[in-house]
Structure 1
Amino acid sequence: MNLTISGHHLEVTPALRNYVTTKLDRITRHFDQVVDIRVLLTVDKLKEKERRQRAECKIHVKGNDMFAESSHEDLYAALDELVDKLDRQVGKHKTRVQDHHREAPKRLM
């Protein structure tokens, strides 16, 4: 799995990088066919203070690409919302991929 964490108008500190990797472990624990994860953390120069910190993530899994973004006044809260959204998307994808067919019952003669 390739993990890329980058910042726009923001320096990605080791503590922030560690927080992102621990949160994304939840996704890889639920679905092991994750190929690539790209996280972009930005600080926007908006007048509204409550939506200033933004986190975006693109996940490439076997057979699908997923994208989610979240904005909040706190970057850690934005990351929490982002991981929740991605976890729901990965869960839906996992249920679609799994084989739900059952074997036909064997006849008794």
Structure 2
Amino acid sequence: MSMNIEIFTRNLDLNDRIKEYVHKKVSKLERLINEAEETRVDLAYVKSARNAADRQVAQITLRGPGFILRVEERSDDLFAAIDEAIDKMQRQISRYKGKHYRGRGDGTPASAVAAVVSPAEAQETEEEEMPIIARRKTFTLAPMDEMEAIEQMKLLGHENFFVFYNANTNAINVLYRRRDGTYGLIEPKIG
């Protein structure tokens, strides 16, 4: 089955050289995962990127039955971004295939291989695998609107996110800074 490759661009012209390069590189992924039904390659030039080395963006998305794999890489050169994205996608495909296809290979059922674990041993194993919370913080939320939250975020030097109590909606919100310099707002709802 031949892989269907769709190329989309934003803020740059798609010439034959780029198109051939993408098809040549992306078609190599078919050897690794031939059940991909759709391959989408998004290429963009982001003029507003903070760092000049992050202006050329290559994003690859593979869709298939029961999976979506997506990678994004940035570079100062479009071809380098494509190469890095392909390398990253190859690693992601091997990780995906390892989780879903790797088995014992000898046909032995899992029940025959599984060792009997006592409840005490099972509890110890669960405790070892639990993630460790290294730090807990408690702080008081003062009611403020979104503009005040942006100012407070800048004043505190929080570059990534800021948690605040939104006086307009009477709810806790998370304000975050996006890559393009704009802000995003997360308004959680209990479901």
In the superposition, the TM-score normalised over structure 2's length comes to 0.51
Q: How does 1:1-109 map to 2 (within 5 A)?
A: 1-46=3-48, 48-98=51-101, 100-101=103-104, 102-104=106-108
Q: Which residues of structure 2 form unaligned runs of 5+? A: 109-191
1:99 deviation in Å?
Answer: 5.0
Please list the CA deviations of residues 11-34 of structure 1 after superposition, one character each: whole Å capped at 9, or x if unmatched: 111110110111112211122111
User: Structure 1 residues 83, 34: CA separation in 2 closer, same or farther (over 3 Å shift)?
Assistant: same
Q: Max radius of gyration: which structure?
A: 2
Please list the CA deviations of residues 60-80 of structure 1 after superposition, one character each: whole Å capped at 9, or x if unmatched: 123210111011000000001
User: Structure 1 residues 65, 103: CA separation in 2 closer, same or farther (over 3 Å shift)?
Assistant: same
Identity of aligned residues (%): 27
Q: Which residues of structure 1 form unaligned runs of 5+? A: 105-109
RMSD: 1.4
| Aligned mates of 1:18, 1:63 — CA distance in 2 | 29
Provide the aligned length of Structure 1 versus Structure 2.
Answer: 104
- Considering Cα pairs closer than 8 Å and 6+ residues apart, tell me whether 1 or 2 has the greater RCO: 1
Please list the CA deviations of residues 25-47 of structure 1 after superposition, one character each: whole Å capped at 9, or x if unmatched: 22111221111111110001135
In the superposition, the TM-score normalised over structure 1's length comes to 0.86
